[in-house]
Copies of this chain bind each other. A is one copy, B any other.
């Protein structure tokens, strides 16, 4: 069924067979391809993908490292419940998005952002040095330039938010760069169609200014506003869909 030959695996994604197989397997697992089917044994996997068992073993080991699989003699290799997947792993995140687009997932993304980024902004207000403040201002400048078509709005937005994460000077916050980037990239598929121009340059300016003035509380609330607006927008759209155009959804 899923028969693949080595050349496919090689070209698909990855500098070598193992990475190619990692990607292929990871994707099919996350998609749920094996949901009601037993996961193959090492030997079968190797045969299916046309690679040696060592390559297979290494790919499987990488997937267990990311929490997707576990292997035990006699029992075979089995898929772990999705609760034990490491969702902050770049690969897992990518696979998650490659399956059908899900508003639910996007909402979860933003529910996370609304926790992380306001606090990151507050930390940045306290901890940022001049270079980091400049990086934030540069991001903002790019957003303004994008308003007049001089720059890419999405990339500018990402640059701004990532700069703040970096300025927080907390290694854990740095880890969210991927999540935030992908969340923004995905949001645009959904958000901009509705709101025409995401804009909200003023809101971003408020964050920058608060950080410049080293005011953590103002930075936090300003950032919170940006993201909770997105969340509210998602909720209203969701409601509209539910009431199927018959009744107007109340609540602003």
Contacts and interface: CB of A to CB of B under 8 A. Distances in A.
Interface stretch (A131-139, A167-175, A199-207, A237-245): A167-175
Nearest to A173: B112
- Is the interface on chain A under 10, 10 to 19, 20 to 34, or 35 or more residues? 35 or more
Contacts of A144: none
Interface in A12-63: 15, 18, 22, 54, 57-58, 61-63
A83 B178 CA distance: 12
Interface in A139-184: 170-175, 179
A18 B73 CA distance: 14
B61 A108 contact: no
Given A58-B61, A61-B61, A108 B172 contact: yes
A88 B66 CA distance: 11
Contacts of A18: 61
Given A58-B57, A61-B61, A65-B62, A171 B115 contact: no
A11 interface: no
